[in-house]
Amino acid sequence: MINYGEELAYWYLRLNGFFVIDNFVYHRTGNSRDGDADLIALRLPYVKESIGGNLGDWDESLFSHLGEYDVLAILCEVKTGHRANLSRVFENRKVKYTLNRVGFSDIEIKEMLSCNSSSFMLNHNRKILLKLLITEHGTDNQDTFLTFSLEHVEDFIYSRIKKYSNQKYNARHFFPSSLLQYMMYRSNRENR
- Residue 42's DSSP bridge partners are 19, 73
pLDDT tens digits, 98-118? 999 999 999 999 998 888 778
Question: So what's the pLDDT on residue 141?
Answer: 62
Question: So what's the pLDDT on residue 132?
Answer: 95
pLDDT tens digits, 73-93? 999 999 988 766 777 788 888
Instruction: Kindly report the pTM of this predicted structure.
Output: 0.92
Question: So what's the pLDDT on residue 66?
Answer: 84
Q: How confident is the prediction for the chain on average, in pLDDT?
A: 88
pLDDT tens digits, 159-178? 999 999 999 999 999 999 99
For Cα atoms 156, 51, 185, give the angle at the middle one, nearest 5 degrees: 60
Question: So what's the pLDDT on residue 127?
Answer: 92
More confident residue, 51 or 137: 51
More confident residue, 129 or 141: 129
Q: Is the pLDDT of residue 29 over 60?
A: yes
Q: Is the pLDDT of residue 1 over 60?
A: no
- Residue 88, C-beta contacts closer than 8 angstroms, at least 6 positions apart: none
Percentage of the residues of the chain whose pLDDT score is greater than 70:
94
Confidence of residue 139 (pLDDT cuts 50, 70, 90): low
What is the DSSP code string of 24-78? EEE---TTPPPEEEEEEEEE-TT--BTTTBSGGGS-HHHHTT--S-SEEEEEEEE
